[in-house]
Amino acid sequence: MILILCMFPSTAWVLDSADIEPDEAELKRGKAYIYEIKPERKTGKGYKLVYMVAAPIDVYWKFKTDFDNDFLLTNKYITDHRLIQNKADVAITENSYATNPRVRFKWQTRIHPESHHLDFLLLNPEECNQKFHYGTIQLEAAGDYTRVTQIAYFEFFGASLWVHYPWYGGMSYFLNYTASWEQQTIRRLIGNYQNTN
């Protein structure tokens, strides 16, 4: 295993050390910081993902809360997406993922526009072979950028392996891809969310 790590160091994605504070210049250049965090419950795993997008917070908020969209299908991990319900401060969406396209994940997102905060919860964990999956997304203004901090807690068979697997298919690869995909997507679609109500 050590030999394999030495042979392919550039293909491995590693978790950032808990004592490393994200560097704003690195964030603006597109780096995502990923930390394993202690779960809130006795079981499960958790992560903290920090990255920036090149959009002001009011524009990015509109993008992030556009639940009735088809741009999510440009993410290679998402095979299906639909909005089930959007009432007041709660949206319910249903997604299928490339890793298991027959399973439909139903997500509830509670929206807090005054604080640019989202709470998400997997409503059907048993159907998705999980015990639980929930978390938060907090946006912070950073000039013409928006800083995104996502925290998630989850428990499913193989979660520990997924968290620590350093290559394609592991948590670090998935979260780095997701942050990069979002940075590119908002850049491409930013005009759709500027000067709209």
pLDDT for residue 14: 58
H/E segment holding residue 85: strand 78-87
Rg from Cα positions in the chain:
17
Q: How distant, in Å, are the alpha carbons of 74, 116, 126, 166, 191 from that of 66?
A: 15, 14, 27, 32, 14
pLDDT for residue 5: 38
pLDDT for residue 16: 73
pLDDT for residue 4: 38
Instruction: Provide CB contacts within 8 A for 119, sequence distance 6+.
Output: 109, 110, 112, 134, 135, 136
pLDDT for residue 9: 41
Q: How distant, in Å, are the alpha carbons of 35, 110, 134, 146, 153 from that of 39?
A: 12, 21, 11, 26, 6
pLDDT for residue 124: 98
Query: Residue-wise pLDDT tens for the chain (197 aa)?
Result: 343 333 334 444 557 776 788 899 999 999 999 999 998 888 999 999 999 999 999 999 999 999 999 999 999 999 999 999 999 899 999 999 999 999 999 999 999 999 999 999 999 999 999 999 999 999 999 999 999 999 999 999 999 999 999 889 899 999 999 999 999 999 999 999 997 66
Strands (E), 99-193: 100-112, 117-122, 130-142, 145-156
Listed residue (118, 68, 116) closest to 90, CA to CA: 118
Listed residue (185, 176, 175) closest to 74, CA to CA: 185
* Single-letter residue type at 158: G
Residue 30 tokens read as: 């597109």
Q: Enumerate domains of the chain plus CATH numbers.
A: 26-193 (3.30.530.20)
pLDDT for residue 18: 64
Ramachandran class of 88: left when φ > 0, alpha when ψ lies in -120 to 50, beta otherwise: left
Could you please report the per-residue DSSP string of 32-50?
-EEEEE--SSSS-EEEEEE
pLDDT for residue 40: 86
Query: Under a CB-based contact definition with an 8 Å cutoff, are residues 52 and 189 in contact?
Result: no
